[in-house]
Amino acid sequence: MFRNWDKWVSRRFQKVKMRCRKGIPSSLRAKAWQLLSNSQELLESNPGKFDELEQEQGDPKWLDIIEKDLHRQFPFHEMFAARGGHGQQDLYRILKAYTIYRPDEGYCQAQAPVAAVLLMHMPAEQAFWCLVQICEKYLPGYYSAGLEAIQLDGEIFFSLLRRVCPMAYRHLKKFKIDPILYMTEWFMCIFSRTLPWSCVLRVWDMFFCEGVKIVFRVGLVLLKQMLGSVDKLRELQGMYETMEQLRNIPPENIREEVLVQEVVSLSVTEALIERECGIQVRKWRESRGVLTHQPGRRLHGTRAIFEQKHRAAAISSGGSLSFLGSHIPPPGPLRYTGCHGVHRPLVPPVPVRPHNPPLSITRERSQPEYLNKTVL
């Protein structure tokens, strides 16, 4: 599959998706994540760039904050346990390089656990380019000043919750628990500080392949599990009790295969997210005005990144777009403009789980039957 990656993505993407949902073998995970995110090609097209960034001085403002955050990332993992150890040094190199690569964004504390997870699987340079793809393609605007993108996705998430689990929605509404209070760490850290480690890896496998809809689905499944029954809500009689439950999810209550089954079965599609995005952007403009930060458009996983890459190559060479195949949507933006404040057409369709301190955001088995279900 790796040797003919473009053919698999363009012609047999459903097989790629099923493989990711089944779980990528540990020995192949680093290579797979880089191919799924297209970060490997980014690295190859920028030889020596990471070393150049590392040699630059950097902004002392960001470097000081990064230095203080290093020891907070997976402190019980052997890679990051020792102060000044190779894991912390590589993490510092990656985060510093990103602040120089994207000085307009700088550094956000939620990037540190994401970069740390990448470092557990690949060398620093590869992890850096993978982080770039996450920040620019998968979750654009999440780590920018003002955190408008995550606030907007919080409104989208809450609206989707009303469809998926009305009981949980009413409970949170009753106690005026805004989504930004609990889903910020979930989404921005891609559940790396929330779920048991085996679940984190399964979620990331699917996330790199299918994009942010996996993050939405996981969050909705968690709320459905914790707040989706009368018996569970009896124990949560106020805002404090509810927030404690959401911030400290007992790992024994989350079983890997059950979580994956519910995530892949949940009918929350890219089209639904984008449609809801348009609605929430209009509401945002009516109540708060125009978005002040305008990140690049969000791409929904591997196939969208693949299409963008080959579309750009075809346009620059004056070639045809027929290689994309008739089953793939025609050229055009995939993300409704409003999400970024720019008018664009909408195209229809660790062995031990570490205990981390609260994050302060400053700005091969037989395939289970459910994996054969097709939920786009």
Going from N- to C-terminal start, the domains of the chain cover 20-138, 140-356
**Pick from 35-44, 213-222, 279-288: least confident:** 279-288
Burial zone of 308 (CB within 10 Å; 0-12 exposed, 13-18 middle, 19+ buried): middle
What is the domain class of 140-356 according to CATH? mainly alpha
Cα angle: 368, vertex 25, 77; to 5 degrees: 115
pLDDT at 202 over 80: yes
What's the chain's length in residues?
Answer: 376
Query: Which band of pLDDT confidence, cut at 50, 70 and 90, is reported for residue 364?
Result: very low
pLDDT at 331: 38
Closest CA to 5 of 364, 309, 296: 309
Query: Which band of pLDDT confidence, cut at 50, 70 and 90, is reported for residue 323?
Result: very low
pLDDT at 161: 96
pLDDT at 1: 78
Residue 127's region, left for phi above 0, alpha for psi from -120 to 50, else beta, is alpha
Residue in the block written with tokens 């073998």: 25
pLDDT at 6 over 90: no
The topology (CATH level 3) of 20-138 is Helicase, Ruva Protein; domain 3 (1.10.8)
Query: Which band of pLDDT confidence, cut at 50, 70 and 90, is reported for residue 321?
Result: low
113 vs 185: CA distance, rounded Å: 10
Cβ 243 vs Cβ 348: under 8 Å = no
* Between 73 and 6, residue with greater pLDDT: 73
* Between 329 and 268, residue with greater pLDDT: 268
Percentage of residues in the chain with pLDDT exceeding 70?
A: 83
105 vs 142: CA distance, rounded Å: 10
| pTM score | 0.84
pLDDT at 348: 36
Q: What is the DSSP secondary-structure string of 189-251?
A: TTTTTTS-HHHHHHHHHHHHHHTHHHHHHHHHHHHHHHHSSHHHHHT--SHHHHHHHHHS--G
285 vs 291: CA distance, rounded Å: 7
pLDDT at 8: 87
